[in-house]
Every structure is written in structure tokens, then in C-alpha cells.
């Protein structure tokens, strides 16, 4: 490469010297009131099998594994961290054609026998026969009812009840139900696992500026999604729908009336025995916190875990906070359309939309409310 001519070299030297002099005039120690987002220059999402995810995390080839559980050969090192969120609901449904469920009393007896017979030592399963869980932001408004439900189902065991035939749907259900009870044909009761994230996604609406509906993450609303179809009595169905309509329309005077209305709704939903909640599972997702190649400041959602807008907006690359590449793995291949109206509704698409979408409000991580996605100028109170 030819050398720069003398006059040009002198001009370049003077320009650099002037720039350095200008830089030394800047004041230090005065932080901006708003920090720039730790948003990487590139977000890469790859489909990764659960058997490969552990090795990629350990090698910092991916920063987080969203929606699955890596298969570690041994206990993961300290650099691999886990976040916990609501995994799924375990739902018990009475077969209306079963000879053991001719009336409500018989249905309750069958459901009680099954709930008391579940294997409660299964990893990540929590016995909790109430649809609002500690992961829901409104759980404290239902905590006494949840305790009463557990006492109801565990107390008064009847030894003369016949053993039910159970259709265990899925790997987890087969672990929970005693093997001698399991029957695929002529069953009295079915046990199934309902994904919490899929339940929320199925009821969600999204545009570029709005996520919703506002009650999407409330425990009472998710309880209705699961249990409302089991109400056979017309008067009970009408009461459930009326309470739902009032809660959605904010047709109440104050917080006390709202809480009592939600409690009454869940009481109606759980008053029968044709479809009951057995418990929930805890989902664990893993990310790399390796000293230089990992991520930190990881936000996650109590219901959706890492597959949520708060994760994409908070996870900070340790090595290159503003201009590095964030690498994510997910176990499910994309299956939905990629558009904000009729698509992005599978796990891969939801993760992608969390990165692409820019809604005004995003779910608050640990309750059923919503939080501002962007900075706002809020006047200090006097």
C-alpha cells in the first residue's frame, strides 16, 4: 500500500489530535437517566434436539434453550443456570359413559380415589387440586380456597370405592397413575397434561402495537379455559358466563368486588367433579452464564418462561452488550405461518415475534398485569 503524502499525513494527525482534545472536555460521572437497550445486533434461533442442547450450552454455542429441557449427562456446572415457570396443568376428566359416574356423588368418589392414588413423588409435579397456582399473579386472592380444595380431596378417603380404570394420556400421566389402573379402553376417568404456555397462546391476540386480551394471564381466566366446558347444569353455566362477562367488562365497583367476583367464578368452576385439577408441573429452562460468552440480566415470565418478550428485552450479552449475536435454541421446528394476524402461534413463532414485535405493553413477569415496553416520562410525586 503506498504511503500517505506528507500534507495528508499532517492533516490526519491534526484531525485525530483535535478529536482527542474534544473527547477530554467531556464531563464524567453523570449517568443518563435512561440506558440504551441491551439489544444484540443479531438474534439467531435454531431448532436444536434436546439431546444436543446440553453440549451446545456447555460450549456456549447457544446462550439459552427455550421451551425444552436439555439432557445433561451429569449435574450442570454453576455456569449453567435455570429459570422456573409454570409448565402445565394436570387435568382429570370423568368419562360420562362410565358405570362409576352415574351421578355427581359417584363422579366425586371416582375423582377422589384417583387424586388420592396419584404418585406425588414424580419430578416437577406439584399436587394442587385448584386451577389458580402460585405462579399466577392473583394466587394470593385464592390461597385459602386452594388449601381448602386440597383438604377436601385428601380427607375422608373411602376404602370401599372400586379401583377406577384410567386412561393416562402422555408420558407424565403414565408416571402419575399407578400402572395397574391404566386402561386405554373402557376407562372411567382420563388424566391429561395441558401446557400452560399453549393455553395462553391459544387465547392470545397480537398486533404490532398490542398484546392481549388484558385478562389473558389471570388465574381465573385460565381456570375458565380449562374447566368451563364441564358445567352440565344450565343455571351453573349461565352463572359462570355472567361472572366471566363482568370480569372482562370490569363491571365492579372496586378491587374488593373484583376479587370476590373472581373467587366466586372459580368456586363455580371447581364445584363439580366431572372435570377437576390434580396439580401442575414446574418447567425449567436453562441458559449459559459463562463469564465472557454467556448472558446475564435474564428476565423471564412466570407463565411462559423464556419464551416471552421480557426475555428478549433484558438478556444482555456479557462479551458484546450492544453489538454481539444472541444464539437461542428451541426444540420445536416452526409450523405456523409467519404473519402477525394468523401466524406466530407455535413456540418457534412466538419466540420470533417476541424479537420482531414492538407492542406498547408487554406482560409483567410475575403477575397478571402489563408493563410499559418503552421508557416513559413519569413525574415524581410530591
Instruction: Give the number of other CB atoms < 10 A from CB of residue 126.
Output: 15
The b-or-e profile of 255-265 (16+ CB within 10 A means b, else e) is: eeebbebbbbb
CA 128 centroid distance within chain = 18
Q: Which three cell numbers stand for residue 313?
A: 428485552
pLDDT band per the 50, 70, 90 thresholds, residue 187: very high
No. of helices (H) and no. of strands (E), the chain: 11, 14
Question: Minimal CA–CA distance to 41: which of 288, 298, 321?
Answer: 321
Whole-number Å distance between alpha carbons of 118 and 130: 15
How far does the chain reach from its first CA to its final CA, in angstroms? 66
Question: Minimal CA–CA distance to 41: which of 331, 337, 325, 343?
Answer: 325
Which residue pairs from 37-42 have beta carbons closer than 8 angstroms and sit at least 24 positions apart in sequence? Answer: 37/313, 38/297, 38/314, 38/315, 38/316, 38/317, 38/321, 38/322, 39/313, 39/322, 40/317, 40/320, 40/322, 40/323, 40/324, 40/325, 40/326, 41/322, 41/323, 41/324, 41/325, 42/325, 42/326
Residue with cell 394468523: 342
Over 60: is that where the pLDDT of 9 sits?
no
Q: Provide the pLDDT for residue 19.
A: 39
Whole-number Å distance between alpha carbons of 269 and 101: 19
Angle at 314 (CA atoms; ends 308, 318), nearest 5 degrees? 130
The b-or-e profile of 52-71 (16+ CB within 10 A means b, else e) is: bbbebbbebbbbbbbbbbbe
Instruction: Give the model confidence (pLDDT) of 266-293 as tens digits.
Output: 999 999 999 999 999 999 999 999 998 9
> Helix crossing, 255-270 with 234-248: angle to 10°?
150
Whole-number Å distance between alpha carbons of 210 and 360: 6
**Does residue 283 contact residue 303 with C-beta atoms inside 8 Å?**
no
Instruction: Give the model confidence (pLDDT) of 301-339 as tens digits.
Output: 999 999 999 998 889 998 876 678 999 999 989 888 877
Over 60: is that where the pLDDT of 121 sits?
yes
CB-based contacts of 53, cutoff 8 Å, min separation 6? 62, 65, 68, 70, 71, 286, 329, 331
SS3 for 73?
Answer: coil
CA 271 centroid distance within chain = 27
Q: Alpha-carbon Rg of the chain, whole angstroms?
A: 27
Tell me the C-alpha to C-alpha distance, in Å, between residue 246 and each of 19, 80, 237, 261, 268. Answer: 64, 45, 14, 8, 15
pTM attached to this predicted model: 0.85
The half-sphere exposure of 309 on its side-chain side, counting CA atoms within 13 A, is 21
Whole-number Å distance between alpha carbons of 169 and 188: 13
Instruction: Give the model confidence (pLDDT) of 155-166 as tens digits.
Output: 865 556 778 999
**Does residue 41 contact residue 323 with C-beta atoms inside 8 Å?**
yes
Instruction: Give the model confidence (pLDDT) of 207-238 as tens digits.
Output: 766 788 999 999 999 999 999 999 888 999 99
Over 50: is that where the pLDDT of 102 sits?
yes
Q: Beta strands 275-288 and 211-212: pairing type? A: unpaired
Question: What is the arithmetic mean of pLDDT over 138-162?
Answer: 86
Q: Is the peptide bond before 235 cis (omega within 30 degrees of 0)?
A: no
Question: Minimal CA–CA distance to 289: which of 134, 95, 81?
Answer: 81
SS3 for 48?
Answer: coil
Amino acid at each position: 500500500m503506498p504511503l500517505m503524502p506528507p500534507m495528508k499525513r499532517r492533516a490526519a494527525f491534526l484531525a485525530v489530535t483535535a478529536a482527542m482534545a474534544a473527547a477530554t472536555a467531556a464531563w464524567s460521572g453523570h449517568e443518563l437517566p435512561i440506558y440504551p437497550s441491551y439489544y444484540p445486533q443479531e438474534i439467531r434461533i435454531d431448532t436444536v434436539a434436546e439431546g444436543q442442547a446440553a453440549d451446545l450450552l456447555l460450549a456456549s454455542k447457544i446462550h439459552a434453550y427455550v421451551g425444552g429441557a436439555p439432557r445433561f449427562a451429569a449435574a450442570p456446572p454453576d455456569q449453567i443456570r435455570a429459570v422456573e415457570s409454570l409448565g402445565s396443568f394436570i387435568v382429570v376428566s370423568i368419562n360420562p359413559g362410565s358405570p362409576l359416574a352415574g351421578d355427581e356423588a359417584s363422579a366425586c368418589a371416582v375423582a377422589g380415589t384417583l387424586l388420592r392414588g396419584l404418585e406425588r413423588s414424580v419430578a416437577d409435579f406439584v399436587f394442587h387440586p385448584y386451577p389458580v397456582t402460585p405462579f399466577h399473579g392473583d394466587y394470593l386472592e385464592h390461597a385459602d380456597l386452594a388449601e381448602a380444595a386440597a383438604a377436601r380431596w385428601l380427607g375422608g378417603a373411602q376404602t370401599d370405592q372400586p379401583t377406577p380404570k384410567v386412561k393416562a394420556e402422555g408420558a407424565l400421566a403414565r408416571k402419575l397413575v399407578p400402572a395397574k389402573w391404566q386402561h386405554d379402553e373402557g376407562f372411567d376417568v382420563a388424566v391429561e397434561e395441558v401446557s400452560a404456555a399453549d393455553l395462553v397462546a391459544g387465547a392470545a391476540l397480537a398486533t404490532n402495537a398490542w398484546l392481549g386480551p388484558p385478562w389473558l394471564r389471570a388465574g381465573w381466566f385460565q381456570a375458565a379455559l380449562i374447566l368451563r366446558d364441564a358445567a352440565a347444569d344450565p343455571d351453573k353455566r349461565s352463572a359462570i358466563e355472567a361472572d366471566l362477562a363482568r370480569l372482562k367488562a370490569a363491571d365492579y365497583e372496586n378491587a374488593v368486588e373484583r376479587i370476590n367476583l373472581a373467587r366466586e367464578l372459580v368456586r363455580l368452576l371447581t364445584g363439580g367433579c366431572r372435570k377437576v385439577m390434580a396439580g401442575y408441573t414446574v418447567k425449567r429452562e436453562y441458559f449459559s452464564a459463562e463469564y465472557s460468552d454467556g448472558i446475564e440480566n435474564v428476565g423471564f415470565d412466570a407463565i411462559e418462561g423464556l419464551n416471552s418478550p421480557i426475555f428478549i428485552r433484558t438478556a444482555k450479552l456479557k462479551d458484546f452488550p450492544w453489538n454481539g449475536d444472541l444464539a437461542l435454541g428451541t426444540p420445536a421446528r416452526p409450523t405456523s405461518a409467519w404473519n402477525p394476524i394468523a401466524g406466530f402461534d407455535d413456540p418457534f413463532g412466538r419466540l420470533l415475534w417476541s424479537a420482531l414485535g414492538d407492542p406498547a405493553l408487554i406482560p409483567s413477569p410475575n403477575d397478571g398485569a402489563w408493563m410499559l415496553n418503552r421508557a416513559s416520562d413519569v413525574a415524581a410525586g410530591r
